[in-house]
Structure 1
Amino acid sequence: MTSHPPPPPRATMREVASAAGVSLKTVSRVVNGEPGVREVVRREVEAVVEELGYRHHRGASDLRRSGQRTRAIGVLVQDIANDYSARLLRSLEDATRERGFVLLAASLDEDAARERQLVTEMIARRVDGLVLMAATDRQDYLAADVRAGLPVVFVDRVPHGLDVDCVTIDNAGGTRAGVEHLLGRGHRRIAFLGDLPAIPTARERLAGWRQALVAAGATPDPALVRDGLRTVDAARDALGDLLRLPDPPTAVFAARNVLTVGCLRAVRWDAPAPAPEVVGFDDVELLDLLEPRTTVVRQDVEAVGRAAADLLERRMAAHGWPARHVVLPTELVVR
């Protein structure tokens, strides 16, 4: 194995104090949020903390010996209650437990400020690595931590402003397969229900919908696109609106598991006959038992978790390796 130089050390509290021209005690009060510091001094110390990339570590006095680990990994997903996030967490737990680690997990709820706060909290607790399903547009706020040797693996979304390991799936290709299935069954008016346009995976799946229609000689109709949908009820209402159009869709591609459930509720309770055919991205437990039977684009969430754990272990073992971007395929499950 090729040896690589160790990462540069993190900025210390002493270096922050020296750069800000204050005492160690003052820096300690600022980073711990304690009173007794004039506001102008607090702002100066916080500016130096940001400039040097200093991270305050709780319990650092107990972890001073070189190489000592906490054996904890921070995992930040969008919603632990969501089936995809829950399965990803379980896969990571199984893979990392074999390696002697425990997980500290939290939900981001597509909130950029929440992401940065929780990342700071995880690092303050000396996690040995981070697995992150980012809500921020750019993640270069982590650059100082990565340079200091913190292993970070992104899942589901490619990082921006930071060249680190990531595991994603072929979102556009999976969507193309689902839409091509509907085209093969004779549909041409195929609606698309998607998540927030700011989410990269949502944009990739919308692109796959367009690509499949264009390749088949069908013109993508913007009137059949509903995005920004986050809940089951939002998807149900959106499909209801589409079905009231003068020329309604005969089929719909739901680009997220909760949106698939919303579409099926609309088909069951709201849709006039004949109801539109639904294909969803991501399988949902018990979906194979429901009528109408629903074809889905399945992603191997367990494989995503295992790949992320492997990348973390590789990065912990040796720094300096080029970042790896792993893209996993999807599977069309026809029902």
Structure 2
Amino acid sequence: MVGVGSQGKPPTVKEVARHAGVSPMTVSRTLAGGANVRPDLQERVLAAVHELGYRRNENARILRPGQASGLIGVAITNLGNPYYGNFALGVEEVAAETGRRIVLGNTGGDPARERQLVADFLGRQVEGLVLVPAGGPSDHLQPGRLGDVPLVLASRRIYGLDVDVVLLDDVGGAYRGTLALLDAGHTRIGYLGYVSSAFTGARRYEGYVRALEERGLHPDPALVFREQEDAAGGAIRRLLDLDEPPTAIFSANNRNSIDALREIGRRLRSGATPQEMPALVSFDDFELAELMPVPVTIVDHDPRQLGREAARLLLSRLGADARQRGPARMVEMPVRVAPAVPSA
């Protein structure tokens, strides 16, 4: 299996050397920069490293045998989003209670960057991993690739990966947020989501559709934008420029909400009236939401608490043999709708 050495363990320098047909010293020198190693031998070593999935142990020089690193690897998708900053603080808070520290990395939602980041974390001998998945292939997250390092997924699930996961009530929150708009008399409700292939995006869209169909309505394709996550400006402009624009919008995350409010504010400064602008429901809170130019209803939850729960799941796995850790667990955390929806 790629990434697994003899007896199911991660590959060693000796196994890389044997695979490349060189000495272990040549492997070490190549990985240290290639000084005094012929280019053709370097190419063979690097090809073997890639084929076997070898990763360097960055802590080997500073850790005594049997000594734990005290590190938890935390990978998020968008370090620029305050939501994920608060999530990481929650993980850190619980880890610190046991004397551990976190190592934080940003994937940018790129599966290739996630793969490299996980490899880097494992090279640092982290005791466990907390990951907001970027999506895409998950072979690098399979137990055979992680060894005995436990993994907890947060916010998003990966089907076929049997690990602990902590989620939000995405479907229920989107359903209740959309229902609040319907109860206020809105029937033309736009949707600002993000990539339909994303686990969370699909769940929140499901809640939006469920609320509409419960009232005998169906999503209008002209009102639904699902392929953006952090750049909703173009989508909101197209919604508001329709001959019959929506009277309300459900936004599936806070970055889309901020872009929508930025465009609404621009139009208000250009002479539009608040009554001409749509009501807005945002899944996820954001700073100064209460000061926005139109009322904003928030599908609210605490990202720091989400991080705490992920860390607790992870810590409960540490110190136990991988074969004795028991079945994977899923925790779904509640959300609440803070009403501020004006009538249509």
Q: 1:333 aligned to 2:338? A: yes
Q: Given the alignment of the two structures, is residue 281 of structure 1 paired with residue 283 of structure 2, yes or no? A: yes
Give runs of aligned pairs for residues 1-335 of structure 1, distance below 5 A: 9-37=9-37, 41-42=41-42, 44-50=44-50, 52-66=52-66, 68-143=67-142, 148-231=147-230, 234-270=231-267, 272=272, 273-318=275-320, 319-320=322-323, 321=325, 322-335=327-340
Higher mean C-alpha deviation, range 145-154 or range 76-85: 145-154
Q: Quick check: 1:53–1:144 contact (8 Å CA) kept in 2?
A: no
Q: Alignment partner of 1:264: what SS? A: helix
Q: Is the 8 A contact 2:193 2:252 kept in 1?
A: yes
Cα offset, 1:87, TM superposition = 0.7
**Contact in 1 for aligned 2:298/2:338 (Cα 8 Å):** yes
RMSD (Å) for aligned C-alpha atoms:
2.3
Contact 1:91 1:301 survives alignment (8 Å): yes
**Partner SS for 1:26:** helix
Q: Aligned partners of 2:277, 2:17: CA distance in 1, in Å?
A: 68
Moved more, 55-64 or 118-127: 55-64
Q: Name the SS of the counterpart of 1:65 in structure 2.
A: coil
Structure 2 CA distance for aligned equivalents of residues 75 and 256 of structure 1: 21
Q: Post-superposition shift, 1:280? A: 0.5
Task: Give structure 2 stretches of 5+ with no counterpart.
Answer: 1-6
Please give the alpha-carbon distance, in whole angstroms, between the structure 2 residues aligned to 1:329 and 1:146: 33
State the identity as a percent: 38
The 1-side partners of 2:116 and 2:51 are apart by: 17
Letter in 2 for 1:93: E
Give the secondary-structure state (helix, strand or coil) at the position aligned to 2:195. coil
1:54 offset after TM fit, Å? 3.1
- TM-score when normalising by structure 1: 0.88
How far apart, in 1, do the equivalents of 2:98 and 2:157 lie? 26
SS in 2 for 1:265: helix
Residue-by-residue CA offset, 1:221-272 (whole Å, 9 max, x unaligned): 01101233233xx434322221221221110001110111222222233264
**Deviation digits for residues 85-130 of structure 1 (CA, Å, limit 9, x no counterpart):** 0110111111111111111112111122221222222222222221
Q: Is the 8 A contact 1:8 1:147 kept in 2?
A: no
Describe the shift of the 1:29–1:215 C-alpha distance in structure 2 as closer, same or farther (beyond 3 A).
Answer: farther
CA contact (8 A) 1:138 1:159 kept: no
- Give a deviation string over 1:45-75, Cα, whole Å, max 9, x none: 4454455443210231433512x11111111
- How far, CA to CA, are the matches of 1:90 and 1:147 in structure 2? 24
One-letter amino acid matched to 2:99: G
Give the CA deviation at 1:181.
Answer: 0.6
Q: Gaps spanning 5+ residues in structure 1: where? A: 1-6
